[in-house]
């Protein structure tokens, strides 16, 4: 979900060469020639077009991307009859620096792939790499303009592309293109992604366990049909209260929580190391004053109650928990955003992904006003999202026996101050996998989770961020060395460092995992 994201660089106007099934060709571009691999075969799909473009060192005309070795870009467009979709897949192939591996990459928010943003670092490291748009136009952070047909019914075919089909197609096509280009298949195949990409990684292990030798599924947006509603919960709480605190007021509660719970893990480092154990009561701030934008604001009981409900997470009106809430210490700005127009009162500013899921897939009205949704309607929408979409995009099946049998290895890491995807959802999934797969020790043989105190969504925050989790995955897959820790570092607070511990272990005051 990573919202908003900036795509690095600008696309060249493609110099395309359409290839027939039986003819290979050579296209001269820049200073090199790229041999055209044979057209791949994808069961259930039909190839519409295939082109090859060569890029010399430095990416040629892509001026904002530098330091990339010479590579060939194979672009394939396919469709899934009778859907009439147009799925674009790009496979970047290093000319002389290939490390023998294939890396498929994931997307963010409603975008199934990130192309340059993901492919540039992969090619720099010698991987043949691929990305796909799943046939759903848009960009990370943009609305799902593909969601509804003209008759306002949900486009189930494109939703299936986005939910699970596209990465499987990319895996099959990517490996065929690699084998045709280099004359041999990749020795190992990997998938990497965070957020939506993390969800794609989990669903690959669940639905297509033989696609990849290793999967790096960071901060996964699993339980999508519940998660997106839970992301909207802070707006519902404010709608019901009729109170919309400013970001400055919300920040005061986080500062107080950090001050109260910083030492719970035995270290005083400005980070809540165990948000689930933090018992700070927001009611303690009632009546205190904070300075916001040159004026003094007194914290009200309504403010404290809003924060308490946001931290607790969504419930039914009867008090049954529906999903997890924002962890203490995570920024409120993404999910509990508010705005003040020039005329009128302050109002909510929901996370676009959450609001768009409700508008397009539940209400089926792209321009619906969601600012009036209260507890009763929220509960109804939550139930509908579960009933209609769990089988398509739930992405939370804990039975990974086929993935284990195929020899796959998977690593998930998740920031404990993630303001968009709740880390307790990842912990919940790991616990359910343990129950299904024979316990913690049996699960650790093929699936390991690492939690990052103080880290935000996929990166950032105050805590140490994993420096190279893919290297740890490669070492596990290719050499059998399962990681007990992930090296991590931070630029925000240079005095804070330390490796991430394998779940359920946590770093103590001595910085060792216990």
Q: How far apart are CA 75 and CA 174, in angstroms?
A: 10
Q: Is 440 exposed, middle or buried (0-12, 13-18, 19+ CB in 10 A)?
A: middle
Token pair, residue 140, equals 């990370």
Indicate the SS3 state at residue 341.
Answer: coil
Q: List the catalytic residues.
A: 195, 418, 457
Q: What is the DSSP letter of 58?
A: G
58 to 50, 66, 169, 437: CA distances (angstroms): 24, 5, 29, 47
* 37 Cβ contact list (under 8 Å, min separation 6): 24, 52, 74, 176, 177, 180, 181
Token pair, residue 119, equals 């492919």
Q: How far apart are CA 220 and CA 203, in angstroms?
A: 10
Q: Is 345 exposed, middle or buried (0-12, 13-18, 19+ CB in 10 A)?
A: exposed
- Per-residue HEC secondary structure of 241-255 comes to HCCCCCHHHHHHHHH
Residue with tokens 């359910």: 432
Q: How far apart are CA 126 and CA 199, in angstroms?
A: 25
């Amino acid at each position: 979900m990573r919202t908003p994201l900036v795509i690095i660089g600008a696309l060249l106007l493609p110099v395309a060469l359409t290839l027939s099934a039986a003819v290979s060709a050579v296209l001269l571009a820049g200073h090199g020639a790229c041999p055209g691999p044979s057209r791949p075969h994808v069961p259930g799909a039909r190839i519409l077009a295939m082109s090859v473009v060569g890029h010399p060192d430095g990416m040629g005309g892509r001026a904002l991307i530098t330091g990339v070795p010479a590579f060939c870009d194979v672009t394939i467009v396919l469709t899934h009859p009778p859907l009439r979709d147009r799925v674009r897949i790009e496979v970047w192939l290093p000319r002389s620096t290939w490390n023998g591996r294939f890396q498929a990459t994931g997307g963010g928010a409603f975008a199934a792939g990130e192309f340059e943003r993901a492919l540039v670092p992969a090619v720099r490291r010698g991987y043949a790499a691929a990305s796909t748009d799943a046939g759903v136009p848009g960009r990370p952070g943009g609305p799902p303009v593909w969601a509804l047909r003209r008759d306002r019914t949900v486009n189930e075919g494109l939703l299936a592309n986005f939910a699970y089909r596209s990465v499987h197609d990319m895996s099959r096509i990517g490996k065929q293109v690699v084998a045709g280009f280099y004359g041999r298949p990749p020795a190992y195949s990997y998938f990497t992604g965070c957020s939506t990409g993390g969800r794609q990684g989990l669903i690959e292990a669940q639905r297509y366990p033989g696609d990849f030798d290793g999967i790096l599924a960071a901060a996964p947006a699993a339980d999508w049909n519940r998660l997106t509603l839970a992301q909207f919960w802070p707006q519902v709480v404010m709608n019901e209260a009729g109170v919309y605190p400013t970001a400055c007021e919300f920040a005061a509660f986080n500062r107080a929580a950090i001050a109260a719970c910083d030492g719970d893990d035995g270290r005083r480092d400005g980070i809540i190391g165990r948000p689930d154990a933090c018992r700070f009561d927001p009611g303690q701030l009632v009546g205190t004053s904070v300075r916001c934008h040159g004026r003094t604001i007194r914290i009200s009981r309504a403010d404290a109650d809003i924060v308490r409900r946001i931290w607790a997470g969504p419930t039914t009106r009867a008090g049954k928990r529906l999903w997890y809430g924002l962890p203490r210490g995570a920024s409120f700005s993404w999910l509990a955003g508010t705005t003040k127009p020039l005329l009128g009162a302050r109002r909510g500013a929901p996370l676009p992904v959450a609001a768009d899921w409700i508008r397009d897939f539940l209400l089926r009205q792209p321009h619906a006003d969601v600012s009036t949704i209260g507890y009763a309607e929220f509960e109804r929408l939550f139930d509908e999202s579960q009933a209609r979409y769990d089988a398509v995009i739930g992405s939370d099946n804990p039975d990974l026996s086929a993935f284990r049998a195929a020899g796959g290895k998977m690593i998930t890491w998740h920031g404990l101050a993630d303001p968009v995807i709740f880390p307790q959802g990842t912990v919940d999934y790991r616990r359910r996998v343990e129950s299904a797969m024979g316990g913690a020790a049996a699960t650790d043989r093929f699936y390991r989770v690492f939690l990052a105190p103080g880290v935000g969504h996929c990166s950032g925050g105050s805590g140490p961020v994993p420096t190279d989790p893919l290297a740890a995955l490669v070492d596990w897959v290719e050499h059998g060395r399962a990681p007990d820790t992930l090296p991590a570092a931070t630029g925000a607070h240079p005095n804070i460092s330390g490796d991430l511990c394998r779940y359920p272990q946590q770093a103590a005051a001595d910085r060792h995992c216990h």
